[in-house]
Amino acid sequence: MAKYYPPKKNNWSGRKSKDALYLHEKIQCLPIDQLPTTGNQFAILGYQCDEGVRLNQGRVGTKEGPNSIRKALGKMPNHISSLQKLIDAGDICYESGKLENIQDLLSEQVAELLSKKAFPILIGGGHDIAYGHYNGIKRYLLSQNQRPSIGIINFDAHFDLRSDDDGPNSGTPFFQIANENEPFHYLCLGIRKDANDQILFQTASKLNVTYVLQNTFRIQFVKEINTWIRAFMEKVDHVYVTIDLDGFSSAYAPGVSASSPLGFSPDVVLESLETITASGKLISMDIAEMNPKYDVDGLTAKLGASLIHHIIHAEFPQ
């Protein structure tokens, strides 16, 4: 069973000011059905679920991820225009039963957010968030009589292309998407050979996945990386970005389901996001695998919050 829970204002706190200098003062807490349709708004939606991680034999604890990111984000400074809205739209919560139930509910709510002309920012939660998120985007585009042409850009150490023969989990979302969508447009940045077996590389090749290995996904190669990103985006009408925090080195993100010291650094991700937002094709994004149970001094939560802070202050083409 999965349920939607409205947002709670007490999840947001920080230094007080008279001029909304901090994001906890800027944020509006509105249930999804109460969002306006005026546009020019970012909507944060939590995915409180670690069942997919458990099924994938990972370290559970990501269910608490959304609120840890909210706590860090609320303390950050607000530079958003007064015309721009920042909304906490609540949480989708896994309680029992099949993983598919919460993914279906997530899909419905993402489609609803997009219909409200909001830019969804989802925070998780295991990377199984991606399957429900993608289907929500697809559902919305179909409702608008648009042929879905969605490119997935995944910042991650893992392909997450495991077979779902034994059911879905946090390692299967892009395999599921590939099996249900033709063509399948998938770019994965930061792949590590020590985090993916031979079968996963073979699957990626079979599905024509474009990927950049971690030893190349570095700031010194940023021009080449941005060239690859632009070439990928030219093939699609819409871009969905998903950032798996376990792709970062554990120096930056110890609080994840599968940490490693050999991951990438934030600078190359931020440069890549600049290129993606400048395209005008970014339709939605999420941050996955935040696990506060293993975080150190809130570093991972602060990283996730900083990535969101970067996106909501980015220059989106009008």
The whole-chain average pLDDT of the chain stands at 96
Statement: residue 109 has pLDDT above 60? yes
Question: 117: domain CATH number?
Answer: 3.40.800.10
Residues 225-238 have a mean pLDDT of 98
Mean pLDDT of 143-158: 94
CA pair distance 160, 172, nearest whole angstrom: 5
Look at residues 301, 266, 240 and name the one whose alpha carbon lies nearest to residue 66. Answer: 301
| Residue pair 118/128 in contact by the 8 Å Cβ criterion | no
DSSP label at residue 192: -
Tokens for 118, please give them. 């909001």
**Digit-coded pLDDT (tens) for 171-201:** 999 999 999 999 999 999 999 999 999 999 9
Arithmetic mean of pLDDT, 129-149 = 95
Query: Would you say residue 111 lies in a domain?
Result: yes
Mean pLDDT throughout 26-41?
Answer: 95
Mean pLDDT of 201-230: 98
Look up the domain containing 298 and give its range: 2-312
State how many domains the chain has. 1
Q: Is residue 221 a part of any domain in this protein? A: yes
Segment 240-252 mean pLDDT = 98
The per-residue pLDDT for 146 is 85
CB distance 72 to 298 below 8 Å: yes
> 124, 65 in Cβ contact below 8 A?
yes
Q: What is the DSSP letter of 264?
A: B
Which tokens in the block code for residue 54?
Answer: 């458990």
Q: What is the pLDDT of residue 316?
A: 72
Let me know how long the chain is.
318
Q: What is the mean pLDDT of residues 99-120?
A: 98
pTM of the model: 0.97
Residue appearing with tokens 């890549």: 272
Cis peptide before 183 (omega within 30 of 0): yes
Q: What is each CA distance from 139 to 107, 150, 168, 295, 301, in whole angstroms?
A: 8, 12, 20, 35, 30
SS3 223: helix
Q: What is the dihedral of CA 262, 265, 271, 274, to 10 degrees?
A: 100
pLDDT score of 253: 98
Confidence check: pLDDT of 147 > 90: no
**Domain contains 317:** no
Count of CB atoms within 10 A of residue 49's CB? 29
Q: How far apart are CA 203 and CA 144, in angstroms?
A: 33
- Residue 3 has phi, psi (to 5 degrees) of -135, 150
Q: Is residue 216 within 8 Å of 191, Cβ to Cβ?
A: no
Evaluate whether residue 26 is within a structural domain: yes
> At residue 148, does pLDDT exceed 90?
no
* Per-residue pLDDT, 318: 56
Q: Is residue 318 part of a domain?
A: no
Q: Render pLDDT for 248-306 as a digit per residue (tens, 0 to 9).
A: 999 999 999 999 999 999 999 999 999 999 999 999 999 999 999 999 999 999 999 99
